[in-house]
Structure 1
Amino acid sequence: MEIKTEDYGICYDPSTATVSFRGSLRLSGPQEYAPIVQLLEEVADLAPAKITLNLQQLEFLNSSGINMLSKFIIEVRKKAPVQMAVQGSQRIAWQGKSVKNFQRLMPSLQFELL
């Protein structure tokens, strides 16, 4: 599963159950984020023991994107046995502030700044 555009890329590695994001996500609203939501839902439907979101190469994520990821994390939380981890980068300022809030949505979420 993969989505590639000029501005961003998202790919799923089934061997590690990791969804990796890169580039800049500046899409405007739920309709433009729909293909990404579909990819994430397909990953969740596979029901791996743990899903990792690797955001280390995601330079920018607007509020619509943060909302989309927040809703995904809430959906994963509802699937009781699935664990979740988010990997971010210390060099990208927004990640430390915004991504940490995902733990409020899912207290068991593991968050790493690498």
Structure 2
Amino acid sequence: MQVKGENYNVWYDKNNGAVSFNGALRLTGMQDYAPILQLLNEIASTEPPNMVINLQGLEFLNSSGISMLSKFVIGMRKKSIQMKIIGSTNVPWQGKSLKNLQRLMPGLTLDLQ
């Protein structure tokens, strides 16, 4: 399962249960983020006990992308899936923005490395 664009790659590794993001996501609106949101929702619909979103390789995410992730996290509050988001302290936008996701879903584990 993969969504790939000119400057980004999002893929699911079934072996470790992680969705990894690489590159820079500068898509224009929520409709352009729909394939990525669909990938995340498809994985969540299988009700895995744990779901990891690895954003360490994502250098940039615009406000539409942050809205897409926020919408996904809010939807996950209704499920019994343990969510973990891995980010990087070396990528400036991640520290501030990812902490906001934790506010949306208090049970979410945030690991900034």
Per-residue deviation, 1:25:
0.4
CA distance in 2 between counterparts of 1:30 and 1:90 reads 26
- What TM-score comes out, normalization by structure 2 length? 0.97
User: Hey, what does 1:92 align to over in structure 2?
Assistant: 91
CA distance in 2 between counterparts of 1:47 and 1:25 reads 27
1:9-48 alignment, distance < 5 Å: 9-48=9-48
Per-residue deviation, 1:14:
1.2
Q: How many residues align?
A: 113
CA distance in 2 between counterparts of 1:101 and 1:63 reads 13
Q: Which runs of 5+ in 2 are unaligned?
A: none
Q: Which runs of 5+ in 1 are unaligned?
A: none
CA distance in 2 between counterparts of 1:38 and 1:93 reads 27
Instruction: Give the root-mean-square deviation of aligned CA atoms.
Output: 0.7
- Percent identity of equivalent pairs: 57
Do structure 1's residue 5 and structure 2's residue 8 form an aligned pair? no
Partner letter of residue 84 of structure 1?
M
- What TM-score comes out, normalization by structure 1 length? 0.96
